[in-house]
Chains A and B, each alone.
Chain A
Amino acid sequence: EAQVTQNPRYLITVTGKKLTVTCSQNMNHEYMSWYRQDPGLGLRQIYYSMNVEVTDKGDVPEGYKVSRKEKRNFPLILESPSPNQTSLYFCASSPLPLAGLTDTQYFGPGTRLTVL
């Protein structure tokens, strides 16, 4: 089954304790992306990756890191989480047409993170 998986689905942590949210897709997609969703602010892009070892900042990258060492995985790293990073996080992937722009995006189920 074609899917995007995220782990963990729910996480409660404390300020400053490093954490990683994993994202994996089995569709051989080149493009992967992380979003956060907050009430009243909608979905905002954190980072995206066009392919292995190619990553770029989205609209709200501060406080986050990513890596793309393998095509299928795109982990989101919070080196020192803070309460303002409490949010619902989504990973997404997409095939990359020759034009170099995204096509239909497939979303993971979400990770609800609470930073105390």
Chain B
Amino acid sequence: KQEVTQIPAALSVPEGENLVLNCSFTDSAIYNLQWFRQDPGKGLTSLLLIQSSQREQTSGRLNASLDKSSGRSTLYIAASQPGDSATYLCAVVTLNRDDKIIFGKGTRLHILP
């Protein structure tokens, strides 16, 4: 059964620093991996989607990488800003899971002004 883990559960960094959020998954037979942002009490916003054939995706200050063989993905945030404070979740769709999407529990990020 696919399991998705995000470590750390919470992270505080000073404004302006570059940071990396981690996501690991146990079954490497994935269709895609997606990073989401969730603000308190709000819905999820898709940030980046990486297909299984891709190594990375970039959007502005965000860069997501995927290493299927090791079951890992990272979300790199450059020059962090207080507005980046949110919970970041990764989710995978596994090839043999009948289209079910499995989420990690998220990393709660706080950028210190």
Task: Say yes or no: B98 contacts A56, CB within 8 Å.
Answer: yes
A37–chain B nearest beta-carbon distance, Å? 9
Tell me which of A65-73, A77-85, A95-103 binds B. Answer: A95-103
Known: A40-B105, A102-B99. A110 touches B42 (CB 8 A): yes
CA distance A33 to B99 in the complex (A): 10
B89's partner among A43, A56, A102 (CB-CB below 8 A) is A43
Task: Say yes or no: A103 contacts B105, CB within 8 Å.
Answer: no
Task: Say yes or no: B103 contacts A42, CB within 8 Å.
Answer: yes
Tell me which of B44-52, B60-68, B72-80 binds A. Answer: B44-52
B43 CB contacts on chain A under 8 angstroms: 4, 90, 107-110
Known: A43-B89, A90-B44, A106-B46. A99 touches B31 (CB 8 A): yes
- A20 in the interface, Cβ–Cβ < 8 Å? no
Task: Say yes or no: B100 contacts A59, CB within 8 Å.
Answer: yes
CA distance A105 to B43 in the complex (A): 12
Secondary structure of the B contact surface, majority rule:
strand
A31's partner among B36, B41, B45, B99 (CB-CB below 8 A) is B99
CA distance A60 to B45 in the complex (A): 23
CA distance A28 to B86 in the complex (A): 29
Q: Which range holds the interface residue count of chain A?
A: 20 to 34
Q: Report 27 cross-chain contacts, Cβ distance below 8 Å, ordered by A residue.
A: A4-B43, A41-B105, A43-B89, A44-B103, A45-B100, A45-B101, A48-B99, A48-B100, A59-B100, A90-B43, A90-B44, A100-B99, A101-B32, A101-B93, A101-B95, A101-B99, A102-B32, A102-B93, A102-B101, A103-B32, A105-B101, A106-B46, A107-B46, A108-B43, A109-B43, A110-B41, A112-B41
B28 CB contacts on chain A under 8 angstroms: none
- When C-beta atoms are compared, the residue in chain A nearest to B45 turns out to be A107
Task: Say yes or no: A104 contacts B34, CB within 8 Å.
Answer: yes
A90 CB contacts on chain B under 8 angstroms: 43-44
B49 CB contacts on chain A under 8 angstroms: 103-104
CA distance A105 to B103 in the complex (A): 12
CA distance A102 to B93 in the complex (A): 7
